A and B are shown apart, each in its own frame.
Chain A
Amino acid sequence: MVKSTEDKALKMRKPLKRRPLKTVPMLLLITAYQLYMFSQLAVTNIKALEINYTMLIYFGVFIVAEWLYYIVMRAFAKRRNFEIELIGFFLTGIGFAAIGSAKPDGLLVQTGAFLLGLIGFSVLVWILGDSERAMKLRLPLGILALVILVANIFLGSDINGARNWIVIGNAISIQPSEFVKIIFVFVGAATLEKLQTSKNLYTFIGFSAACVGVLFILRDFGTAVIFFLTFLLIAFMRSGDVRTIALALASAGLGGWLIAMFKTTVKNRFATYRHVWDADMIDGKGFQQTRVLIGIASGGLFGLGLGKGNVRDVIFSSTDLIFGVVCEELGVITGFAVLACFMLFAVYAINNAKTSRSTFYSIAATAAAGLLLFQASINIFGVTDVIPFTGVTLPFISRGGSSMISCWGLLAFIKAGDSRTYLTTYGELKK
Chain B
Amino acid sequence: MKLLLYLPQILLCLVAIFIIVRCFVSLFSMRPAGKPKAVLINKQSGKKLAISTYETSLGRAKNSDIQLASSLASRSHAVISRRKKGWFITDTESKAGTFVNGEQTEGAVRLYHGDTITIGGVDYTFIAPHASRDENAAVPVSQEARGTLINLATNYPYQIQGGKLTIGRNENCDVVIEDITVSRLHAVVQYTDEGWVVADNDSKAGVGVNGYRVHGSEPIEDGDKIMINTHLFMFRDGSGVQRRGARG
Q: Do any beta carbons of A and B sit within 8 angstroms of each other in the complex?
A: yes
B22→A348 contact, CB < 8 A: no
B54→A429 contact, CB < 8 A: no
* Residue of B8, B19, B155, B215 with most partner-chain A CB within 10 A: B19
The minimal Cβ–Cβ distance linking A400 to chain B, given in whole angstroms, is 22
Contact stretch, chosen from A1-9, A148-156, A158-166: A1-9
* Interface residue A83 (Cβ < 8 Å from any Cβ of B): yes
B24→A193 contact, CB < 8 A: no
B23→A80 contact, CB < 8 A: no
* Residue of B8, B12, B22, B108 with most partner-chain A CB within 10 A: B12
Task: Kindly identify which residue among A29, A130, A192 contacts B79, using a CB–CB cutoff of 8 Å.
Answer: A192
A419/B33 contact (C-beta < 8 A), A198-B93, A344-B24 known: yes
Contact with A along B26-68 (1 / 0, CB 8 A): 1111101101000000000000000000110100000100000
* Interface residue B100 (Cβ < 8 Å from any Cβ of A): no
Number of contacting residues on A, CB 8 A?
72
Q: Which residue of A lies closest to B55 (CB)?
A: A192
A425/B197 contact (C-beta < 8 A), A12-B211, A16-B212, A197-B92 known: yes
A29 to B18, CA, bound (A): 10
B213→A19 contact, CB < 8 A: yes
Contact with A along B147-163 (1 / 0, CB 8 A): 00000110100000000
27 contacts between A and B (CB under 8 A): A12-B225, A13-B230, A16-B211, A18-B25, A19-B213, A26-B22, A26-B23, A29-B18, A90-B20, A130-B84, A191-B55, A192-B55, A197-B93, A301-B13, A302-B12, A302-B13, A303-B9, A304-B9, A331-B12, A333-B13, A348-B24, A348-B27, A354-B248, A358-B55, A420-B33, A425-B192, A425-B217
The minimal Cβ–Cβ distance linking A420 to chain B, given in whole angstroms, is 5
A86 to B25, CA, bound (A): 13
Interface size for chain B: under 10, 10 to 19, 20 to 34, or 35 or more residues?
A: 35 or more
A199 to B185, CA, bound (A): 53
Q: Which residue of A lies closest to B108 (CB)?
A: A193
Q: Which residues of A sit under 8 angstroms from B120, Cβ to Cβ?
A: none
A8 to B10, CA, bound (A): 44
Contact with A along B71-83 (1 / 0, CB 8 A): 0000010110111
Task: Kindly identify which residue among A5, A87, A355, A419 contacts B20, using a CB–CB cutoff of 8 Å.
Answer: A87
Q: Which residues of B sit under 8 angstroms from A14, Cβ to Cβ?
A: 211
A334 to B32, CA, bound (A): 31
* Interface residue B227 (Cβ < 8 Å from any Cβ of A): yes
* Interface residue A21 (Cβ < 8 Å from any Cβ of B): yes
Contact stretch, chosen from A30-38, A57-65, A245-253, A378-386: A30-38
A20→B13 contact, CB < 8 A: no
Contact with B along A27-59 (1 / 0, CB 8 A): 001101100110000000000000000000000
Task: Kindly identify which residue among B12, B32, B35, B152 contacts A37, using a CB–CB cutoff of 8 Å.
Answer: B12
